[in-house]
Structure 1
Amino acid sequence: MEVAQVNLHHASAASAVIVKRFISDNLSILLIQEPFVFKGEVRGLNSRRSKVIWGPSSERPRSCVVVRADIDFFCISEFLTQDLVAVQVKDKEGSDFVLASAYFPGETTTAAPPSILSLVEYCRRNNLPLTLGCDVNAHHTEWGSTDCNVKGESLLEFIISNNMSIENVICEPTFVTSVRREVLDITLSNDNMIGLISQWRVSKEPSLSDHRIIRFALRVKVADKPPTRTPRNTNWGIFRP
């Protein structure tokens, strides 16, 4: 299955670009940070082929997940916040794995929000593979930043202490403007996801955001969503004795 990750910087045009890519490339899941929001709702990411999930409408969503409509999944409600959305997906072997989108607020001093700590622990406790696409707003040369800051040092300590892996390769900038090139977006995975992520890369295609689109593949075959039956379309005659 193909996954894309991107910070849309609240832009409707960037939303249109990623939806077009989602449909044309038959992507399975989008991990989105800073989506375009209007009147408390994520806009511009809906299509007939997908389901968009975000947190409480009382807060401006800074993360969301888009899942292809035919995939069997459920949203983990305890990890549904303004800055975190996690979904649990079934594969064809009957196992589950978790994909999550997270935004780490730049104004906070802690590297990983408490909800991220809880999600990592949930996956560890339930032996679930976890992939976390996030805008960390933290610098460290370990994932390709041009320098290190206190928040980056703290985040690296969190990554190491929880036996997580950084999937970024080649130190390719994920945040690019006319005056700055930096790595602010990273993809993390836990021990159970080892060997399942491949082809991680920063796309060269225009995103119409100051963040680039990240693409990667998961070596899993997702289960199809069970068919639903509409009562009014049911031929009840075949059930009569």
Structure 2
Amino acid sequence: MAKTGIFMMHINLHHSKGVSAVLARRMSVMQTWLVLIQEPWLYRERISGLPGCGTIYKGPLEKAPRACIAVKGMDPILVPKLSGERLEVVIASAYFPGDADRSPPPIEVDILIQHCQKNRIPLLLGCDGNSHHRVRGSTNINDRGRDLMEHLAGTDMEILNRGDTPTFQIINRSEILDLTLCSERLRSRVLDWRVSNEESLSDHKYILF
């Protein structure tokens, strides 16, 4: 792994064994350092089909790990383009259920954001937001998208998504559902965010940065 940066990606695996297998092969070829996944393939209530998992961050999420899983670097991470500076961050993956009664984000994600903001810990969050808003390139605005944007406006979290390339695509529908969020302090250090055209076998596309 190069010392100047960390290659990352995230994707919704749609609970699929086949999608997980494609991702595992891609990780081995591309030497991906970290993948943020939503809706993984589970076997006997354990994530299956992928290389080893990170350490669960036992911060504010001990009682509710299903909606949001977070990891905290065991060693400080070298910040790209800032020679000699090291920065410890919390990196999390989250799924925002589209049929939930409560507007996004889920309470577990809100707790994590507030915890990191209060303790000045930079946070990087990859999520399937299940919401629409034109600010981030969606085709329309729905109540869930409006509520999420209003909520984020009261935090130090910023949306890294750029452009209008769909992150979700099926035969008769395409939309931007997947979001990459990070603390303001981390914004300038996340580089080359993009949606990949590579086949994932999922109805969601790979997001790379």
TM-score for both structures, normalised by structure 2: 0.87
Partner residue of 1:96 out of 79, 82, 88? 88
CA contact (8 A) 1:172 1:183 kept: yes
CA contact (8 A) 1:103 1:134 kept: yes
Which residue does 2:195 correspond to in 1?
202
CA contact (8 A) 2:161 2:179 kept: yes
Shift of 1:94: 4.8
Look up the equivalent residue of 2:68 and give its one-letter code: L
More off after superposition, 148-157 vs 112-121? 112-121
Which residue does 2:40 correspond to in 1?
35
Which residue does 2:160 correspond to in 1?
167
How do residues 6-155 of structure 1 correspond to structure 2 at under 5 angstroms? 6-46=11-51, 51-53=52-54, 74-77=55-58, 78-79=60-61, 81-89=65-73, 90-92=76-78, 93-108=85-100, 109-155=102-148
CA distance in 1, matches of 2:136, 2:165: 9
Shift of 1:164: 1.6
CA contact (8 A) 2:36 2:126 kept: yes
CA distance in 1, matches of 2:105, 2:119: 21
CA contact (8 A) 2:193 2:207 kept: yes
CA distance in 2, matches of 1:178, 1:9: 16
CA contact (8 A) 1:127 1:192 kept: no
CA contact (8 A) 1:159 1:165 kept: yes
Higher percent of residues as strand: 1
Structure 1 spans left out of the alignment, 5+ residues: 54-73, 217-241
Superposed CA deviations along residues 183-234 of structure 1, whole A, max 9, x for unmatched, are: 1101011112121101100111000000001000xxxxxxxxxxxxxxxxxx
CA distance in 1, matches of 2:10, 2:169: 15
Which residue does 2:7 correspond to in 1?
2
Which residue does 1:223 correspond to in 2?
none
> Quick one: percent identity of the two aligned structures?
36
Structure 2 spans left out of the alignment, 5+ residues: 1-5, 79-84
Bigger-Rg structure (1/2): 1
Computed over aligned residues only, the root mean square deviation of the Cα atoms, in angstroms, reads: 1.4
Shift of 1:125: 2.0
Which residue does 2:149 correspond to in 1?
156
CA distance in 1, matches of 2:158, 2:114: 15
Superposed CA deviations along residues 157-201 of structure 1, whole A, max 9, x for unmatched, are: 011111321111112100001110101101011112121101100
Look up the equivalent residue of 1:198 and give its one-letter code: L
Look up the equivalent residue of 1:201 and give its one-letter code: R
Shift of 1:105: 0.8
CA distance in 1, matches of 2:56, 2:22: 25
TM-score for both structures, normalised by structure 1: 0.76
Superposed CA deviations along residues 78-125 of structure 1, whole A, max 9, x for unmatched, are: 335111111111224553111100000111131111111111112112
CA distance in 2, matches of 1:151, 1:111: 6
